[in-house]
């Protein structure tokens, strides 16, 4: 099948909507209005606001990346760390990185 002008326009519109959605999620992360929920979920701003993932509805076993304990999670999007290790390390349960940074701090470090 040949790539048509209509396909180019359609793909361009879809990518534009994806980009707009990404910017809106970054704006939400910057405002951090869900901070209490984010902190309760033990996630960094990126994982809580920006990541878009799907998960299956099935209890799933996982090994903590720190203590190597075996845990069960309520869906297939398993965390990298157990809650106890995430708390003691002040780390994000999803990515394992620090959860103590802000979006403005991150942007300040990349200014050229």
On the question of pLDDT at 80 being above 90, the answer is yes
Mean of pLDDT values over 1-11: 91
Q: Which residues pair with 71 in a beta bridge?
A: 62
How distant, in Å, are the alpha carbons of 5, 22, 37, 42, 47 from that of 9?
A: 6, 20, 39, 41, 31
On the question of pLDDT at 28 being above 70, the answer is yes
Q: Return the minimum-mean-pLDDT range out of 47-56, 63-72, 75-84, 91-100.
A: 47-56
pTM for this one?
A: 0.81
> Considering the chain, what percentage of its residues have pLDDT values greater than 70?
98
User: What's the pLDDT tens digit per position in 37-71?
Assistant: 999 999 999 999 999 877 778 899 999 999 999 99
Q: Note the pLDDT of residue 97.
A: 94
> CB-side exposure of 65: number of CA atoms within 13 Å?
13
Residue with tokens 């519109």: 13
């Amino acid at each position: 099948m040949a790539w048509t002008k209509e396909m180019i326009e359609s793909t361009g519109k879809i990518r534009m909507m994806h980009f707009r959605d990404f910017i809106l999620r970054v704006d939400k992360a910057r405002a951090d209005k869900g901070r209490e929920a984010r902190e309760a979920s033990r996630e960094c701003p990126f994982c809580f606001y920006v990541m878009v993932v799907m998960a299956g509805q099935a209890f799933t076993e996982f090994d903590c990346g720190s203590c190597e304990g075996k845990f069960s999670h309520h869906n297939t999007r398993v965390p990298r760390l157990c809650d106890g290790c995430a708390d003691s390390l002040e780390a994000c349960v999803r990515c394992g990185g620090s959860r103590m940074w802000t979006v403005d701090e991150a942007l300040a470090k990349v200014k050229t």
